[in-house]
Chains A and B, each alone.
Chain A
Amino acid sequence: GAVVSQHPSWVICKSGTSVKIECRSLDFQATTMFWYRQFPKQSLMLMATSNEGSKATYEQGVEKDKFLINHASLTLSTLTVTSAHPEDSSFYICSPQVTGRETQYFGPGTRLLVL
């Protein structure tokens, strides 16, 4: 299996601040990065898809100006939640992918709590 790390594993912030979440693929190069969000007791919902060096594609209902995604290298992608509000409190999970490689693996997740 693939090794994926996320940092931080949890973060608490005040409303209005910005939070950056890092996702790293440690033993392979990810040409595509998927970012998911999971609210308590719910399933995972895709937020956006990004390819290395390109702009991210956002799912319907996800604000691109609020959730900034950078996929500048094949081993690192970042998700920045700008001007966070309590309703952004959720579990954010990345899933790096190599085109043509079977299956998808997920990071350990980052729990965000906005006060």
Chain B
Amino acid sequence: QLTQSPSSLSASVGDRVTISCRASQGINSHLAWLQQKPGKAPNLLIYTASTLQSGVPSRFSGSGSGTDFTLTISSLQPEDFATYFCQHLGSFGGGTKVETK
């Protein structure tokens, strides 16, 4: 089971944003992050906790291992307002909606 926090946050363009995901048991580095924009399918951003999927901007980064993981957006851009999900095998976190302040 994956627990994300916060469930939503308000931020401005240029802000540094961090999203947390906690696993109920240790999963080494086997965690992915996905982004979903309104009305669109999810898109894989990061896998194996910290590896950027091809084509994903470098302002996105992931860290963590074991049970605690973090997705960081170093400088929020207008196209980054979306919902972010963590995922391990068949489990998804509840999502974090990043909204404009």
Q: Do A and B bind each other?
A: no
Interface residues of A (CB under 8 A from B): none
